[in-house]
Structure 1
Amino acid sequence: MPKNCDINSYRKAIYSGTFDPITNGHLDIIKRAANIFDEVIIAVAKSELKKPMFDHDQRVAFAQAAVEGIEGVSVLGFDTLLVDLATELKVNTIIRGLRAVSDFEFELQMGYANSSINKKIETLYLMPTLQNAFVSSTIVREIIRFNGKFEHLVPEKVVKCMQL
């Protein structure tokens, strides 16, 4: 916690996802959240059931590279229920990104499910800028799979990590 911060006004949030890979849309949401909260924890889910293209360690490293230099933002990997991680970290606000109306139904259900497990949990929905509204990890993975140009859809630092 920052030294000059009143404990009663300190605000932190968690933004979770598979981030397979992290995109400019994710980074847009992260920057917006960092403007609202004192601390934003990027929680990279292991999500083996989703069969990610990139392994968990790579996805954590990509997220760390993407948020490097953004004050108050940290990254960690996890393999539990998000609500349990939030409780462990004493975080009451979960950030979720919404690109389109089609995202809302699923995210609303998840928000209600999390709240049913821990009544203190609030979910805050943020929308990316219009230029990032169409960007998704699914689209990026498909472009990568066919060796297409994807560099404009992910943070430059992530592209560099992918090329190592």
Structure 2
Amino acid sequence: MTDTTDIKALLGNLKFYAGEASCHPDPNYYLEFEKLCTPTNILTVIGVLEAERQRADKAQTDMQFECDAHIETAESWREWKLRAVTAEAELAALKAKLANPVVLPPRKNASYYVDEEFTNADLAAIYNTARLELSVKIQNSGFTVKGE
């Protein structure tokens, strides 16, 4: 008796006659219940119950695996979102840094210097050369330079 319809009918009959035999004094219900309780029928019912239990256990395991996978995915998304927010903040700070150009002091001419070891023209040339090298290095570093 492995057909699904037969198993449903058997279970339905067992339930009906067990219920009737337990609450009615009519011995016919009890006799019908006893007729249904053959070793073959009992083994069939046990087989159905074991198969259902295995199916439920597998479904629970699959569901737990799926839940764990969703939890890992959610944690991964949270981690990536945190990384993205951090990267956006760092990028905004760098953009702000690049948006504000480095301001160099004004060029000095020879009349600015007092006459000591170098002539005023020498000092102005040294200063302006250093200033030019500094501005090139700043620009090569990715910053903008304001001023001549």
* TM-score, normalised by the number of residues in structure 2: 0.20
Q: Which has the larger radius of gyration?
A: 2
- More relative contact order in 1 or in 2 (CA 8 Å, sep 6+)? 1
* TM-score, normalised by the number of residues in structure 1: 0.19
| Larger strand share, 1 or 2 | 1
